[in-house]
């Protein structure tokens, strides 16, 4: 009964959350939607340089605020958190996106300069969310996915907008921001991969 009550409350919380009520949206901004037809391998790069976090206009402002907040409660905790906030990208978020994208498309993810195309995922917004007992807010990310030539990453062949990629576990036990954000990258990789595999053009 206790587990059922927790799950029901988590579901009610998600239904009241406007970012969760809005489904993930991916659309083609420019370029050729079928650019990856026949492609068997691709490089993937990640860019966080233009990322907002929650109500903070940039990543560095958020890091400084959260670091100071945690250090005030327990000196050293904020410093450890700040290092983990950056390290989690390569340890959790990027592998989560890559795995989901690769499984959805069947395209091998490589780090090969001889591969023709590179996908650059530019995260533009991160909502870390929270999960505190019976109160929660799921994580989400917004991003742009650029498909470029590996030899000339300034030449954009296709550009996609990703909005409200959701980050929450089905069972509601996503108590860490790391877990929630990783789920958002997984959702983004899955949805973008499915779209590219179907060769559909969402720009109507």
Give the domain ranges of the chain. 2-58+88-198
More confident residue, 3 or 75: 75
**Cα(127)–Cα(202) distance, integer angstroms:** 25
Of 50-54, 73-77, 185-189, minimum mean pLDDT range? 73-77
When the pLDDT of each residue in the chain is averaged and rounded to a whole number, the result is 86
Of 114-118, 157-161, 195-199, minimum mean pLDDT range? 195-199
As to burial, measured by CB atoms within 10 angstroms (0-12 exposed, 13-18 middle, 19+ buried), residue 188 is buried
């Amino acid at each position: 009964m206790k587990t059922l009550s927790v799950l029901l409350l988590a579901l009610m919380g998600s239904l009241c959350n406007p970012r969760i009520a809005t489904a993930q949206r991916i659309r083609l901004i420019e370029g050729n939607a079928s650019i990856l037809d026949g492609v068997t391998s691709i490089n993937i790069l990640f860019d966080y340089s233009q990322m907002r976090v929650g109500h903070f206009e940039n990543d560095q402002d958020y890091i400084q605020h959260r670091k100071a907040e945690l250090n005030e409660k327990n000196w050293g905790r904020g410093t450890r958190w700040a290092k983990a906030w950056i390290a989690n990208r390569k340890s959790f978020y990027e592998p989560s996106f890559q795995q989901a994208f690769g499984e959805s498309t069947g395209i091998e993810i490589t780090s090969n300069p001889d591969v023709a195309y590179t996908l650059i995922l530019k995260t533009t917004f991160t909502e870390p969310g929270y999960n505190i007992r019976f109160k929660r807010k799921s994580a989400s990310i917004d991003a742009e996915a650029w498909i470029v030539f590996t030899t000339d990453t300034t030449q954009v062949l296709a550009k996609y907008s990703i909005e409200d990629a959701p980050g929450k576990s089905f069972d509601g036990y996503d108590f860490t921001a790391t877990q929630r954000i990783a789920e958002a990258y997984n959702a983004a990789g899955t949805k973008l991969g499915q779209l590219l595999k179907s060769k559909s053009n969402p720009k109507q």
